[in-house]
Amino acid sequence: MAHKFVIEQNKAGEYVAKFKYNSETIFWTEGYTSKAGARNAIASVLKNGPEAPVEEV
């Protein structure tokens, strides 16, 4: 699969959820103190993302 979510630890020791397409990071979340926090962020994107409006400025 060309796209995926990856949970990585940053230099501060926090867990960050990244969305990658062909190994390129498209977006990432804020840092969380636990992997569970990063997993919850991914679940929120999957749940709310498809319904999100597109805003052009």
DSSP 8-state assignment for residue 32: B
In a domain, 47, yes or no: no
Q: Is the pLDDT of residue 23 over 90?
A: no
- Report phi then psi at 39, rounded to 5: -65, -40
Tell me whether residue 48 is in a domain.
no
- Compute the average pLDDT of residues 6-24: 96
Q: Report the chain's mean pLDDT, rounded to a whole number.
A: 95
Question: Strand, helix or coil at 40?
Answer: helix
Can you give the pLDDT at residue 14?
A: 97
Q: Is 3 inside a domain boundary?
A: yes
Q: Is residue 22 part of a domain?
A: yes
Residue 2: the pLDDT is 86
- Residue 9 forms beta bridges with which residues? 15
Q: Which domain holds residue 20?
A: 1-31
In the chain, how many domains are there? 1
State how far the Cα of 10 lies from the Cα of 27, in Å rounded to an integer.
Answer: 14
Cβ neighbourhood burial of 17 (10 Å; 0-12, 13-18, 19+): buried
Quickly state the pLDDT bin for 29 (edges 50, 70, 90). very high
Share of the chain above pLDDT 90, in %: 91
